[in-house]
Homo-oligomer: A and B are copies of this chain.
């Protein structure tokens, strides 16, 4: 069988065909061609469209599935992942009760301000110094008690007309809001944890003394192509909750 290489354009095949296909699909995702929750074209249709075999399409989608960018369902199709789904939510949410109880989380918006980015924020978010960012303070309650204090920063340019009303009235998660309202899909996060004493405000909001240790988490959230989207610092009262890191139960497929 002679290779077709309709995509590589007869080039030196610098990268495998399925990687090329994966990149094309990802670019369509970025362009918003297929909305979160919607089905992407079937494997046979994509194969016809790209002039490659179904196996090659499958291998490209295999990787997108492994990266949790799409989800496959036998008999139904392949869908762009949604962050409002419980499974996706808990994928990025690692705080669990020490006694194993599962409580529905409730959130409360404390403040939303727009300011100029400081140098560290600008560097980490890939912004020009002085560019405007939204700064949000948020509390998360588990079993009716405040457990997590979040301070997050996002580029104002990416999230126009974000305001306290739309933020506080959201259904589901913050990343669900990014996705539904701004078409921004968080696909990966990186977190750095340390133990610290809570700043005064955190201590007040979480109801812990200023001398009792809390868990501090600095997170960067990324969208496609490792583009940083959000910077977040969380303080967690680990009196009755803890951070769970499973490395891992990555049951393939």
Contact = CB atoms under 8 A, between A and B. Distances in A.
A243 interface: yes
Contacts of A188: 247-249
Residue from the set A92, A211, A238, A241 with the largest chain B CB neighbour count within 10 Å: A238
Given A211-B211, A252-B62, A252-B63, A192 B244 contact: yes
A237 to B, nearest CB: 9
A252 B67 contact: yes
A156 interface: no
Nearest to A190: B246
Interface in A45-76: 62-63, 66-67
> Mostly helix, strand, loop or mixed at chain A's interface?
strand
A215 to B, nearest CB: 4
Contacts of A196: 195, 213, 238
Given A66-B252, A190-B245, A247-B189, A195 B211 contact: no
A227 B248 CA distance: 13
A190 B246 CA distance: 4
A245 B195 contact: no
Given A67-B252, A245-B245, A195 B195 contact: yes
A39 interface: no
Interface of A: 62-63, 66-67, 91-92, 94, 96, 98, 188-197, 211, 213-216, 236, 238, 241-250, 252-253
